[in-house]
Amino acid sequence: MGEIGIPRREFLYEISYWEARRIMLGYNNRHREMWSAVRWHAFHVIASMPYVDLRSKGILSPVDLFKFPWEQEAPPVIDEETQKELQDEMRRHRFG
């Protein structure tokens, strides 16, 4: 699979979903700085255009232009009791 260095067959048929997810997260983490630089560059190109007024749209920095998934607020952590209740509910619906 190209840049991640895993044969296509292995990626599609031999690794689990969770392994594939971790591989993709690692790949994305390696490219965060590059994507931040691209956003910074895009912001300054747009801001330098004489007919574009970013301030009127509330865009004061590159982060205001676009937020990446890793910059989003993390979802709230579920406490153990709630997690157990959700798991029990899922089991009831799956096997019940």
Domain span at 7:
1-30
Q: Is 83 within a domain?
A: no
Flag whether pLDDT at 4 surpasses 70.
yes
Q: Is 92 within a domain?
A: no
Q: What is the pLDDT of residues 53-88, one digit of tens each?
A: 888 888 899 988 888 888 888 777 788 888 888 888
Count CA within 13 A, CB hemisphere, residue 70.
Answer: 10
The predicted pLDDT at position 44 comes to 92
Q: Is 57 within a domain?
A: no
Q: What is the pLDDT of residues 19-53, one digit of tens each?
A: 888 888 888 888 889 999 999 999 999 989 988 88
The predicted pLDDT at position 45 comes to 93
How many domains, in total, are found in the chain?
1
Q: What is the mean predicted confidence (pLDDT) over 5-28?
A: 81
Q: Is 76 within a domain?
A: no
The CA dihedral of 5, 14, 26, 83, to the nearest 10 degrees, is 180
Q: Is 82 within a domain?
A: no
Q: Is 86 within a domain?
A: no
**Residue 12 or 64, more confident:** 64
